[in-house]
Structure 1
Amino acid sequence: MISLTDCIALCGLDEAEVRALAEHEHLPEIAAAALGAYLLHLPRGAEKVQQMIEEDIRDALDRGDRAHARDLFMALRHFLKEHGPAPRTRGPQAL
């Protein structure tokens, strides 16, 4: 049987990044790992993951949860180190 740890190891994201996706999309972590793997295979998927984590950081700051925002920021830093920053453009972006 494959475990959550196995799925995270295979998806291309680390545990904190998977947790951020799970939070953003209101999914179980196992489903977030699958979503992350899927997104990373799309042409602009890494950009979408970056946006999701950034939105989670803003939400945490808006509700005054600085500790959680700090944890999410560390996940974002790791993600950017591994997958590179998305190019900045104006206006909404769609996949």
Structure 2
Amino acid sequence: MLTYEECLEMSDLSADEISAIAEHEHMNPMIAVALGHYLITHDGENRIKRFILDDIERAKRCGDQHRQALLNGALRHFIATHPQHTQ
């Protein structure tokens, strides 16, 4: 059986990016790894970017500056590692 960490390594996404997907879609992180990997391999990068942006907006509305900063870092990393697919 594969561990979460092994699946995360194969997903081409960071733990923070997976966390944003899990938060946005209200799902277990292991399921979010599978969804994230699927989206990365099927031209879904802009959808992941939208998930992160939505989560940033939610954190802003809730006044959660720590979560907002974490998600901003995740967004910067995502755009830097997937620049050809995110506008």
TM-score, normalisation: structure 1: 0.86
Q: Which residue of structure 1 aligns with residue 78 of structure 2?
A: 79
Question: Max radius of gyration: which structure?
Answer: 1
Report Cα offsets for 1:17-56 as digits up to 9, x if no partner.
Answer: 001100000111000000000001223x000000000000
TM-score, normalisation: structure 2: 0.94
Q: Give the CA deviation at 1:12.
A: 1.1
Unaligned runs of 5+ in 2: none
Q: Secondary structure at the match of 2:76?
A: helix
| Alignment of 1:56 onto 2:26 | no
Q: CA RMSD in A?
A: 1.0
The structure carrying a bigger helix percent of its residues is: 2
Kindly tell me the number of residue pairs found equivalent between the two proteins.
86
**CA–CA separation in structure 1 for the residues paired with 2:16 and 2:76:** 11
Q: Which residue of structure 2 aligns with residue 6 of structure 1?
A: 6
Answer 1 or 2: higher relative contact order, Cα 8 Å, separation at least 6: 2
- Identity over aligned pairs, percent: 35
Unaligned runs of 5+ in 1: 88-95
Q: Which 4+ runs in 1 deviate beyond 6 A?
A: none
| Alignment of 1:27 onto 2:58 | no
